[in-house]
Structure 1
């Protein structure tokens, strides 16, 4: 994993078409790692196809009311997704997959392929971060505010070496916002609102607000990083 600076080679030949993995409670951010346990047959096939191809999967958040149509290819989803690359995978004896998805970039769904595949495939457009409009001093001050707030929230938590290396890196403001947001115990809709914000200055204010909420309420994040495997 290359912290906070996706390797452009990973998306150099990206066609815009990517399989969709809609879940009701998982929001992936660029530069974050999401462990997933894949057990539904359609998503086992999706992972197998991705591993045989470019290794890319887009995580999408299901909208409220998804329950009745979850088994179909028309369950309502948010249009902003995070495209991830399968960083590691393990095929279990019973056919399930354990994978770790590394977030690469935001993207917007333009439409979906009406293919015969068991899973959904979207045509997407990449969404790069917008310039902050902040001066260098303002940007550095915002970064310090984020790091100080996160240190307060995360005091006593157990993080692996990868996470510490990432925070110690020379982070752009947008990347710092993404990793902190991913690490906070946010409701999925709140996390999604941060994912949808491509204006880095505005995103940093959203993350600062959530840090203050966590500090004020005394609610921290889970004590283990990376998080345990999410079930599809």
Structure 2
């Protein structure tokens, strides 16, 4: 049986790409998307009829005036797999895209379709074990004590399971909303550095939060 990683690898020479300035996908995380533009409806339809593989990419600064055309894409993107979809009666889609692997843009394919395709180099994380993992876990556990359970209930088991670069990615996906910062961490290929930076992000978030008040009287 073909694994998810093998399916993504087989798509690397003609990877379907959805440039979306408002969203950055990380490996080991999922993101819901609403697809309404005709060209990207075509992308989703073709992906669902094939391997279900596609990538989410950011655009280079200055894209706003050329969004309807083909503005330059940033070179680091995330390839993923459509793990759930709902086709609406008017042809729009709701999908859930699961991140699989970082990918570096090598070249964009000729515009034979309405949507964009690219040849990419996949960039799986090397195996890494170091003290930065435990430092990040401890920071997350401290954060969990300051946020509502609804925020942390999925994060704690994910942090307990993940190691190395995957650990940094699942935490970044959960706590960092800004696309620019998410893209910078997506583009950080040094696993040790990424772990350190995400730990710093958790620390900054903790500093902005007040501890949750215990229930009942304090005296």
Please state which band the TM-score falls in when normalised by the shorter chain. Answer: 0.7 to 0.9
Identify the match of residue 109 of structure 2 among 100, 113, 117. Answer: 113
1:9-88 pair list within 5 angstroms = 9-11=6-8, 13-73=10-70, 75-88=71-84
CA spacing shift, 1:165–1:108, aligned 2, 3 Å: same
Structure 1 moving runs of 4+ over 6 Å = none
TM-score (normalizing by structure 1): 0.81
CA spacing shift, 1:159–1:144, aligned 2, 3 Å: closer
Structure 1 CA distance for aligned equivalents of residues 159 and 96 of structure 2: 20
Structure 2 CA distance for aligned equivalents of residues 50 and 160 of structure 1: 33
CA spacing shift, 1:140–1:24, aligned 2, 3 Å: closer
Q: What is the deviation of 1:204? A: 0.4
Aligned partner of 2:170 in structure 1 is 179
Structure 1 gap segments, 5+ residues each: 1-5, 220-232
- The alignment partner of 2:10 has SS state of coil
Question: Does the 8 A contact of 2:143 with 2:206 survive in 1?
Answer: no
Query: Max radius of gyration: which structure?
Result: 2
Across the two proteins, how many residue pairs are aligned to each other?
A: 208
Confirm or deny that 1:213 pairs with 2:209: no
CA spacing shift, 1:183–1:144, aligned 2, 3 Å: closer
RMSD: 2.3
TM-score (normalizing by structure 2): 0.85
- The alignment partner of 1:158 has SS state of helix
CA spacing shift, 1:131–1:199, aligned 2, 3 Å: farther
